[in-house]
């Protein structure tokens, strides 16, 4: 039977609105952070939380924790993450020492036993760490914080570094969610991006995860890689659909070799055309729909019964620096080099190099080198952008009651800019709110960009990936 690969949005409309733009894991975006925000400002935000600013019903609201492990044994040419390529595993010891010092700085202000409902280990390659090193890291976090029952505790897994036995060890540490970097199963594509891994290794890990009772398995895919064709990517889609991970993240490759050095090893003439990328996207959307996946938003899909899909239907979806989440919006403590955190109405980012990161901690200081204290306007716009990205709807009354504004007056210019998108059937401007249409979900970043004061002011977007 032929599968309908058509999109609910006309290709010419999609191409028109396929512009560079942020992914909005935060607003304002990280490129707006300033060096005037440093350790002293972070301490002030933490003290406000400790004084009750983060409390709900008289009790501290649960935290999220993010730990960045920057090390990788080999470079993947498409990668835009902050990583350190090394085969010297002994470097992990110094890094864990530093992480423990950073944790002590946080609990020195907040106190021990702060509740945590979400933990994510990212990178780099967290599974670069040995079992003993991972046990040490998780143990130090458990001694400092209280990981509450029913929380989301996830780790990014490179299938090349994890066996079925090792996955059992990770489950024993308390990880109940894993994210597998797949990208593409085609051997030629894998060679072109320097990431060779077999279908069998991924299949074995997913099978083992189910035996262990791991609650959710995510698989990352990338379209637009060198040597990919709509036909070759269709085979990858068929294979991943057979494995039925609970969630799938489908990213469009952004070729920015001037910003990301590893990408200079990719031959631009091997990249698929815009038309082929569009065919890959439409084929993926149709294939996942036929396999029982709901489209969550942007580049995320989840099985209809998965908690993420349920949260989307119930209007409980949230978005943070790790992407879409079912956990309530919460303060985020980010540990490790380059990690970005959020406390109250502030964002902070750690030093991007190990020498700077280590030096600050040796001096007994938070390794924060930049950040931002959000203005009232930032908070209003963040609420609108996150409502669009997560629920696909903005209630004028809800924003007005929360921030004491007249929505139509405050955002008169933005509503004017949306008229073109409304005429294209991407968004509905109603008497009581804005609603993203089924077609509009494919350019929801573009709709959100209308409310981004910084982007509208400068129009310099080339530092961002394109929407498609």
**Residue owning tokens 């040796």:** 362
Q: Is 66 annotated as a binding residue?
A: yes
What residues contact 210, with CB distance under 8 A and at least 6 apart?
217
CB 73 within 8 A of CB 123: no
Q: Is 125 annotated as a binding residue?
A: yes
Q: Is 171 annotated as a binding residue?
A: no
Q: Is 334 annotated as a binding residue?
A: no
Q: Is 124 annotated as a binding residue?
A: yes
Q: Return contacts of 199-202, CB within 8 angstroms, 24+ apart.
A: 199/239, 201/159, 201/160, 202/159, 202/243
Q: Is 340 annotated as a binding residue?
A: yes
Residues constituting the chain = 468
* Relative orientation angle of helices 91-110 and 131-144, to the nearest 10 degrees: 10
Q: Is 79 annotated as a binding residue?
A: yes
Q: Which of 121, 123, 120, 122 is nearest to 84 (CA)?
A: 123
The span from the CA of 349 to the CA of 31, in Å, is 11
**Residue owning tokens 């005037």:** 36
CB 181 within 8 A of CB 205: no
Q: Is 254 annotated as a binding residue?
A: yes
What residues contact 229, with CB distance under 8 A and at least 6 apart?
272, 276
The span from the CA of 56 to the CA of 197, in Å, is 46
Q: Which of 318, 321, 438, 241 is nearest to 26 (CA)?
A: 321
Tokens of 91: 């470097």
CB 342 within 8 A of CB 81: no
Phi-psi region of 425 (alpha: psi -120 to 50; beta: other; left: phi over 0): left
Q: Determine the 3-state secondary structure of 69 from DSSP.
A: strand
Strands 332-335 and 63-69: parallel
Q: Is 123 annotated as a binding residue?
A: yes
Strands 55-56 and 59-60: antiparallel
Q: Is 358 annotated as a binding residue?
A: no
Which residue blocks in 27-68 are alpha helix, DSSP H? 39-48
Q: Is 156 annotated as a binding residue?
A: yes
Q: Is 80 annotated as a binding residue?
A: yes
CB 221 within 8 A of CB 183: yes
Q: Provide the annotated binding site.
A: 66, 72, 76, 78-80, 123-125, 156, 183, 195, 220, 254, 340
Q: Provide the annotated binding site for [4Fe-4S] cluster.
A: 72, 76, 79
Q: Provide the annotated binding site for S-adenosyl-L-methionine.
A: 66, 78-80, 123-125, 156, 183, 195, 220, 254, 340
């Amino acid at each position: 039977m032929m599968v309908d690969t058509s999109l609910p949005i006309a290709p010419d409309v999609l191409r028109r609105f396929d512009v560079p733009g942020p992914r909005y894991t935060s607003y304002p975006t990280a490129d707006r952070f300033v060096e005037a925000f440093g350790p002293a400002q972070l301490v002030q935000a933490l003290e406000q939380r400790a004084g009750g600013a983060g409390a709900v019903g008289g009790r501290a609201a649960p935290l999220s924790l993010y730990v960045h492990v920057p090390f990788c044994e080999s470079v993947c040419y498409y990668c835009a993450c902050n990583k350190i390529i090394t085969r010297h595993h002994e470097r992990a010891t110094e890094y864990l020492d530093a992480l423990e010092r950073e944790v002590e700085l946080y609990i020195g202000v907040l106190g021990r036993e702060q509740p945590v409902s979400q933990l994510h280990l990212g990178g780099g390659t967290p599974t670069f760490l040995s079992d003993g090193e991972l046990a040490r890291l998780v143990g130090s976090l458990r001694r400092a914080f209280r990981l509450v029952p029913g929380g989301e505790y996830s780790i990014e897994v490179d299938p090349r570094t994890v066996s079925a036995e090792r996955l059992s060890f990770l489950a024993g540490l308390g990880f109940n969610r894993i994210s597998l970097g797949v990208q593409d199963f085609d051997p030629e594509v894998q060679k072109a991006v320097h990431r060779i891994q077999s279908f069998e290794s991924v299949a074995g890990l997913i099978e083992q995860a189910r035996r262990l009772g791991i609650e959710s398995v995510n698989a990352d895919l990338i379209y637009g890689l060198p040597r990919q064709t709509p036909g070759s990517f269709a085979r990858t889609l068929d294979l991943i659909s057979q494995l039925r991970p609970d969630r799938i993240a489908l990213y469009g490759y952004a070729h920015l070799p001037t910003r990301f050095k590893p990408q200079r090893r990719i031959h631009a003439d091997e990249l698929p055309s815009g038309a082929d990328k569009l065919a890959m996207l439409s084929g993926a959307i149709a294939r996942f729909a036929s396999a029982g996946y709901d489209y969550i938003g942007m580049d995320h899909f989840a099985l209809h019964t998965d908690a993420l899909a349920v949260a989307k239907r119930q209007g409980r979806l949230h978005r943070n620096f790790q992407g879409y989440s079912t956990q309530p919006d919460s303060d985020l403590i980010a540990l490790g080099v380059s990690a970005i955190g959020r406390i109250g109405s502030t964002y902070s980012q750690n030093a991007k190099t190990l020498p700077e990161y280590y030096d600050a901690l040796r001096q007994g200081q938070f390794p924060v080198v930049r950040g931002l204290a959000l203005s009232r306007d930032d908070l209003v716009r963040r609420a609108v952008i996150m409502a669009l990205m997560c629920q696909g709807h903005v209630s004028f009354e809800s924003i007005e009651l929360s921030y004491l504004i007249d929505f139509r007056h405050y955002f008169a210019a933005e509503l004017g800019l949306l008229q073109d998108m409304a005429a294209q059937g991407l968004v509905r401007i109603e008497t009581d709110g804005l609603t993203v249409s089924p077609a509009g979900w494919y350019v929801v970043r573009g709709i959100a960009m209308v409310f981004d004061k910084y982007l509208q002011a400068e129009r310099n977007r080339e530092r961002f990936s394109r929407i498609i």
